[in-house]
Amino acid sequence: MGKVIVVTSGKGGVGKTTSSAALGAALARNGEKVVVVDFDVGLRNLDLIMGAERRVVYDLINVIQGEAKLAQALIRDKRLETLYLLPASQTRDKDNLTAEGVETVIAALKQSFDWVICDSPAGIERGATLAMRHADVAIVVTNPEVSSVRDSDRIIGLLDSKTLMAEQGERMEKHLLLTRYDPARAERGDMLKVDDVLEILSIPLLGIVPESMDVLRASNVGSPVTLSDERSAPAIAYFDAARRLRGELLPVTIPGEKRGFFGKLFGRKAA
């Protein structure tokens, strides 16, 4: 049985889709079977980031509505044969995303994949709550600024109340992925400090991804950054995050700073 991960944030544009693709590719590089599911009905992006936009025939809504089989909608990545994409619909109404439909699709994906990564839309509406509903693990993508942190806090509250795990009285495993971290701005004090974000959200840190032109460059060529330029700083951060997801204990380094911060932050108890 595979693990279902939701990549969520509340606030838009913080890097959920970038992270879903990069982590998906990083996990698949090890030979594990990975599917990345786009829940952003009407604003799909994942197909572009993964360079599959011209190969989309059927999508999640088609599968939910019974117009296509799951196997017909899944797109295999051209570079990694264990990486798949289940695209969202760009044209259909998001009301077609039904709770029962999502449940059936996720249950089927869990049977044949090691990792099911759900790229959540922004906000706290239906699309976002359905994306998190069946997750085993949540990755909360946050930028080091107040509004993003507050929205993430709100999302963590929903993860602890509105998901299937929460309703069954279980605790969802949650990880913080701090993205678009800019060492120069941190130096000037224009950004929240890593410690402050961790203190406010009090969930364990999965990684810190630096703000980098490599991310834009990767998306322009339609490739997850972990595939297009694996030696780049953001790619390394995502590879490390993927290893931590598998349960490895690796120190987290703050970009631009020498000190590692293993004992201090990663060892912090999950809330």
Partner 1 sequence: MTSLLTQPRPIRLKGRSFLALALTPEHPFEDWLAQLDHLASRSTNFFRRRPLVLDVTGLEIDRSQLRELLDKLGERNVRIMGIEGARPSLLGPDMPPPMADGRPASDIEAPAEDERVEAKTPEKAAPPSPPPPKTSPSMLVTEPVRSGQALFFPEGDVTVVGSVASGAEIIAGGSVHIYGTLRGRVMAGTMGNGSARIFCSKLEAELVAIDGYYKTAEDLERDLRGKAVQFWLEGDTFKVGSLA
Ligand X SMILES: Nc1ncnc2c1ncn2[C@@H]1O[C@H](COP(=O)(O)OP(=O)(O)OP(=O)(O)O)[C@@H](O)[C@H]1O
Q: Which residues of the shown chain bind partner 1 in the complex (CB under 8 A)? A: 124, 150-151, 153-154, 156-158, 160, 199-200, 202, 271
Contact range with Mg ion by CB under 5 A, out of 8-16, 23-31, 66-74, 165-173: 8-16
Contacts of 64 (CB under 8 A, 6+ apart): 96, 97, 98, 101, 102, 104, 105
Give min distance, CB of 7 to ligand X, in A. Answer: 8
Task: Quote the CA–CA distance of 140 and 228 in Å, as a whole number.
Answer: 24
Site for Mg ion in 19-58 (CB under 5 A): 45
Contacts of 57 (CB under 8 A, 6+ apart): 68, 72, 73
| The binder of ligand X chosen from 5, 14, 41, 149 (CB under 6 A) | 14
Decide: is 17 part of the binding site for Mg ion (CB under 5 A): yes
| The binder of ligand X chosen from 71, 99, 216, 270 (CB under 6 A) | 216
- Evaluate whether 260 touches 250 at the Cβ level (below 8 Å): no
Closer to ligand X by Cβ: residue 9 or 129: 9
Site for ligand X in 175-194 (CB under 6 A): 179-180
Give the residue among 73, 59, 66, 158 at the shortest CA–CA distance from 104: 66
Closer to Mg ion by Cβ: residue 42 or 256: 42
Site for ligand X in 225-244 (CB under 6 A): 234
Which partner, ligand X, partner 1, Mg ion, none, binds residue 73 by CB below 5 to 8 Å per kind?
none
Q: Tell me how many residues contact Mg ion (CB under 5 A).
A: 3
Specify the 3-state DSSP secondary structure of 86.
Answer: strand
Where is 119: in which H helix or E strand?
Answer: strand 115-119
Give min distance, CB of 202 to Mg ion, in A. Answer: 25
DSSP one-letter code for 229: -
Task: Quote the CA–CA distance of 137 and 186 in Å, as a whole number.
Answer: 29
Give min distance, CB of 233 to ligand X, in A. Answer: 9
Specify the 3-state DSSP secondary structure of 184.
Answer: helix
Which partner, ligand X, partner 1, Mg ion, none, binds residue 122 by CB below 5 to 8 Å per kind?
ligand X
Give min distance, CB of 250 to partner 1, in A. Answer: 26
Which partner, Mg ion, partner 1, ligand X, none, binds residue 156 by CB below 5 to 8 Å per kind?
partner 1
- Evaluate whether 252 touches 205 at the Cβ level (below 8 Å): yes
| Number of other residues whose CB lies within 10 A of the CB of residue 156 | 21
Phi, psi (deg, nearest 5) at residue 39: -100, 0
Q: What letter represents residue 142's amino acid?
A: T
Q: What letter represents residue 139's amino acid?
A: I
| The binder of ligand X chosen from 17, 62, 82, 129 (CB under 6 A) | 17
Closer to Mg ion by Cβ: residue 39 or 239: 39
Closer to partner 1 by Cβ: residue 63 or 165: 165
